[in-house]
Structure 1
Amino acid sequence: MATTRQFSSFSDLLATTNKPLLVDFYADWCGPCRMMAPILEQVKQVLKADVEVVKIDSERYPQLSSQYRVQALPTLILFHRGREVQRWEGVQPPEVLIDAIRRL
């Protein structure tokens, strides 16, 4: 399961995370977003301590969605050392995500 963590700001989370951070921008009403849940769980199981997976509800945090130009759901953004390194829109197979994270 994706990590449930409280943070004072998203920029603080980016600044304090030493490993790659995979962020899933989603909405509860989004069918494809629900399809991503088991895929993200699989990514987390395969990579274990090598990645942190965070889900951000785009309806509860519209300012973050806007800041990161999220135009479709789900949008997955991979951050490394506080910078966006890759982005995907729509449902992605676990292999695509795992390969991208491993390349970091």
Structure 2
Amino acid sequence: MPNILCPHCQGINRVPEQRLGEHPKCGKCHQPLFNARPIALDGAGFERFISRSDLPLLVDFWAPWCGPCRMMAPAFEEAARRLEPKVQLLKVNTEEQQSVAARFGIRSIPTLILFRGGAEVARISGAMDAAGLVSWTTRQL
């Protein structure tokens, strides 16, 4: 049973894989574990998800002043609807979380990093449409 972190309270939940598509709720706060939207995280939340989640995590490193980042935001939301519950999508604002961006050597934004088991498995920079995001992510898994 994979560990799944709640997007609301960051509580750890264990859900059988065959039940992921049944709209599971958090055992702690009783909110849905999947909202079909990216989860915006601060540095501590990012560390918790990376270190504790058993699901693949697609992280968008972005900044509010970045035109391509703003342009890609709706596509990233659509990708969340298409990829959940097999993949959780996260967003890290590089302006607010500079230490996280520096740790992963983020030099241009948007940069997408796919994590599995706490380790980076793939990275790509530049804006993409929803179909491209879904295709790239599924090819990496």
Q: 1:101 to 1:57 in 2, by over 3 A?
A: same
Larger RCO: Structure 1 or Structure 2 (Cα < 8 Å, ≥ 6 residues apart)? 1
Q: What fraction of aligned residue pairs are identical, expressed as a percent?
A: 36
Q: After superposition, where does 1:19-98 map in structure 2 within 5 Å?
A: 19-98=55-134
TM-score, structure 1 length as denominator? Answer: 0.87
Structure 1: which 5+ residue stretches go unaligned? Answer: none
Over the aligned positions, Cα root-mean-square deviation in angstroms equals: 1.8
TM-score, structure 2 length as denominator? Answer: 0.66
Quote the Cα distance in structure 2 between the aligned partners of 1:22 and 1:28: 19
Q: 1:79 to 1:16 in 2, by over 3 A?
A: same
More helix by share: 1
Q: How many equivalent residue pairs?
A: 104
Q: 1:7 to 1:16 in 2, by over 3 A?
A: farther
Quote the Cα distance in structure 2 between the aligned partners of 1:82 and 1:17: 8
Structure 2: which 5+ residue stretches go unaligned? Answer: 1-36
Quote the Cα distance in structure 2 between the aligned partners of 1:65 and 1:57: 9
Q: Can you list the C-alpha shifts for 1:61-104, whole angstroms capped at 9, x where unaligned?
A: 11111100000011111111111111111102333332333242
Larger radius of gyration: 2
* Distance apart, 1:6 and its partner CA: 6.4
